[in-house]
Amino acid sequence: MRSKSTNLLKGRKILVAASGSIAAVKTPLLVSSLIKSGAEVRCLITPSAARLVSPLSLASLSRNKCFQEEDQWSPQQAKPLHIALAEWADLIVVAPLSASSLARWSQGLAEGLLASVLLAFEKPIVAAAAMNTGMWGNQAIKGNWERLKTFNNLLCLEPSEGLLACDRVGEGRMVSNELIQLAIESAFLQASSEGKITKDWTGLRLLTTSGPTVEPLDPARLLTNRSSGKMGVLLAQAAKLRGAKVDLIHGPLQTPEGFLEGLTTYPITNANQMKELLNELQRSANAVVMAAAVADLRLQRGQNNKKVRKEELLSTIQEDLEQVPDLLKEMATKRLPGQVLLGFAALSGEDSEIQKLGEMKRAQKDCDLLMANPIDRDGQGFEVDTNGGWLLGKNGLVQLMPVQPKLQLAHKLLDALLLSGLKN
């Protein structure tokens, strides 16, 4: 499944800034993606970045002038350019953020156009660092980065591990454009009217599951479902961007690979593997979200080593299948003090029927919250970028969740978990 525009960025004014890292070659693709998502984009490039990527390409892709150092004090500017750009933008994304630009910004040095704009800007900023592994591990760089993370209008994206331009393998590679855009969307959803970005999950740990599980019948056939895993993955990333430590247990996913960057992931195939990891990880979690679509049936004796003949298939299904245990219900029996459980239920029918069935399931599973998710309606359920339904909780909570981008719903569910009594 390809990631489609969710319209969270439609009409937003975004200033994309690139500083001197080889990762600047990825910036044009980020600009293109933001434009396709409906954002209005302007670009700013430092002198060193201009040696790596063409300002003309950024201007062409953004449909706007690409600002450079020599433009800062142009006599054609009626207002200082760094102030004009800071007033125009709803959000700034710095991708990549080099070691030099990081140093100037963190120390408050207004040397150059980019540094001046960042210091004058009061709304949300997303910064994606990129540099050589040795530089990233340097004590001075670490100090500058930690200082930057204290800025209340900033989402910091640490570099990931991989093959760098210097042929070294290690931390320093700029995260994917998919994750950068996800962070931009989250920043808009998280930011207050003053431009502050909430980190209200700091100090908390989230354990979440995602995707389908797969139960083999034989070497050729499987029992599974249509879950893409996107809802659970976005819940994990949204929580991480709000300061949480996240453990994600997931089956086979149909999401952009970049959506998993920065997360602690545990890929599995079947329900037994998921159960073992849940038992291991539950004890350290403040909240558990069971967003995975666990297959309902499996063979009692495990996979057949030989392919079942067609004429024997029906009898095999009738005689040898068993129901997969309810993992959420089992976790509820092991709930720790202060731990909050959120489950998902894929349902169909009329509104009143879904609410009734959802509350019945919530009570049976003994979870604190349950997202009753109609899957027989447009824009909801499996393999789409939007979702909706009803959030049900103890004490009679029935909250309509209109159809909305899954990332937006993820943030609302994280809000609900905090309001339900989540404790450190």
pLDDT score of 3: 38
pLDDT score of 303: 65
pTM for the structure as a whole: 0.92
DSSP class of 217? S
Q: Are 220 and 240 in contact (CB under 8 A)?
A: no
Q: Which tokens is 144 given?
A: 């500058």
CA 67 distance to own-chain centroid: 30
Q: For the chain, which residues make up each domain, given as ranges?
A: 13-190, 205-419
Encode 87-106 in three state secondary structure: HHCCEEEEEEECHHHHHHHH
pLDDT score of 164: 76
Could you please state the CATH topology (level 3) that the domain comprising 13-190 is classified under: Rossmann fold (3.40.50)
pLDDT digits (tens, 9 = 90+) for 15-66: 999 999 999 999 999 999 999 999 999 999 999 999 999 999 999 999 999 9
Annotated catalytic residue, options 43, 156, 166, 367: 166
pLDDT score of 2: 34
Helix (H) or strand (E) holding 208: strand 205-210
Residue ranges in the chain modelled with pLDDT below 70: 1-6, 302-304, 423-424
User: First CA to last CA across the chain, in angstroms?
Assistant: 36
Alpha-carbon distances, residue 149 vs 185, 258, 395 (angstroms) = 19, 22, 38
Q: Do the domains at 13-190 and 205-419 have one common CATH topology? A: yes
- How far is it, in rounded angstroms, from Cα 253 to Cα 250? 7
CATH architecture of the domain formed by 205-419:
3-Layer(aba) Sandwich (3.40)
pLDDT digits (tens, 9 = 90+) for 114-158: 999 999 999 999 999 999 999 899 999 999 999 999 999 999 999
Q: What are phi and psi of 371, to 5 degrees?
A: -95, 105
Q: Are 392 and 398 in contact (CB under 8 A)?
A: yes
pLDDT score of 333: 93
pLDDT score of 424: 61
166 is catalytic: yes
Helix (H) or strand (E) holding 329: helix 327-333
